Each structure stands twice: as structure tokens, then as C-alpha cells.
Amino acid sequence: MVATRALRALIANPQDTPKVFEVIRALGGPSLERGLRRFQDTDFGDLVLRDDIDILDTLEQRSMLGALPNGSFGSTYYHFTQREELAAEGLVDASAAEAETFSHPHLLRYAARLRDTHDLWHTLTGYGRDELGEACLLAFTYAQTRNRGIFLIAVVGGFKLRQAMGPGVFRALLRAYRDGRQAAWLPAINFESLLSTPINAVRTQLRIPDPLPYRSLLAAYTAS
């Protein structure tokens, strides 16, 4: 089974990003199509699909992002990507094979937007790119998208992390899932229009709280 092989490879190497996309696509069921229907029923989603708006056209403008006010959403995202040595288009190649399976351009555009806003979600939620942070962001993302592949990766990652970090891992994952449930639906948010807004105001607007269990556990583990 494709998903089983990809999941085993991902457990062996959590940095194998193409395998993430294989699992998500293989086990996602109708979640992407369901999300697209919800997306196109929103004013902004309809605009994105009608005008084929690619958020990478904005996120690749590094000089613009770097010139945004300190403390703004866009500036925080920019410094996050600089610190982590990330490029806005970094996930495109990793997901190229999966993109070929989409049957409709609207589905491809919606899926691409989910992929390309991943690091914006990192920035908003406060979850880092460490293994616990990625697992927590997946739990948050599952609450938003209901993709069973994302759920499985988060749970398997949780059991692996629990061996080193203790039972607090699942408290952090559960909190991330609950936060994803109560937050605004991020796929339909016009992130482009919020980049100059103070990030704390954006988090308040989108109902995203500080990830305290994650930060507490990570700090304790790092200090041990």
C-alpha cells in the first residue's frame, strides 16, 4: 500500500517532505474536494479561483516582506523564514508528483494554496519547525481540514515523540487540535491583505491563542 510505505519512510526520516504529501493524498479521502466546496462558497475563495490568484506571487516578494513594520504579520513571517532558511516556493517541488493527480484546476489551486500557506500557519500558531511543533501544527491542520492522512501523521509522530518527551506530547497535540477547531477557517483567509497588520491583532481576529502547552514542553525538554 502506497500510504503504508510512505508512512514507514516518514517515520524513519521525518524530514522526507515528499512522503508527507504521499500520505496526505493517499489517505485524505474526500477532504480536499469538501474543502474546495467550502472555499468556493466564500467571497475570497471565489475570487482566488476566478482570478487564479497564486499566493506565491506575494510571498516571493522578499524585499517587500522585509520592509514591513516590525511586529506585523508579514514581518514576523519574513523573519521566521529567514531564521529557518526557508523559501516560499520550498514545498512546490516536494509536492510536484501529487499535483499531477488533480483532476480540476480549481482543486489544484485550492490544494496549492493550502500547501503554500503552511509557513504562514506556522507563523500564526507559534508552532516551530521542530518535530513537536510540526506534529502540533498537523493536529491544528487536521481540525481545519479533516484530512485523515494529516491526522495519522500527527498521531504517529506523537507516539514517537512521547518516548523522548513524555505524556505531555499528547496534551500539546490535543490543545493544538482544539485550537484548530475554534479558530477561523484559515484556508479562506485573505492573508495577502493582513501582512502589514500587527501579528497579535491578526491572531486575535482569527481566534488563535498562544500554544502554551507546546512552548512549556519544548522548553522543559530543551533544558533537560
Measured CA to CA, the distance from residue 199 to residue 191 in angstroms comes to 11
Q: Which amino acid is at 47?
A: L
Q: What share of the chain is helix, strand, coil (3-state, %, to 5)?
A: 70, 0, 30
Residue 182: CA atoms inside 13 Å, Cβ hemisphere, count? 11
User: Measured in whole angstroms, how far is the alpha carbon of residue 223 from the centre of its chain?
Assistant: 27
**Per-residue pLDDT of the chain in tens (224 residues, 90 and over written 9):** 555 565 566 566 666 666 666 777 776 778 999 999 999 999 999 999 999 999 999 999 999 999 999 999 999 999 999 999 887 665 555 444 445 466 789 999 999 999 999 999 999 999 999 999 999 999 999 999 999 989 989 999 999 999 999 999 999 999 999 999 999 999 999 999 999 999 999 999 999 999 999 999 999 999 98
**Residue 168: what are its φ and ψ, rounded to 5°?**
-60, -20
* DSSP structure class, residue 192: G
Predicted confidence at residue 13, as pLDDT, reads 65
Measured CA to CA, the distance from residue 59 to residue 73 in angstroms comes to 12
Domain extent at residue 133? 2-223
Predicted confidence at residue 24, as pLDDT, reads 74
SS3 call for 72: strand
Please report, for residues 1, 160, 196, the alpha-carbon distance to residue 91 in angstroms, rounded to integers and kept in the order given: 24, 24, 24
Number of domains in the chain: 1
| Cβ partners under 8 Å of residue 109, min gap 6 | 48, 49, 52, 54
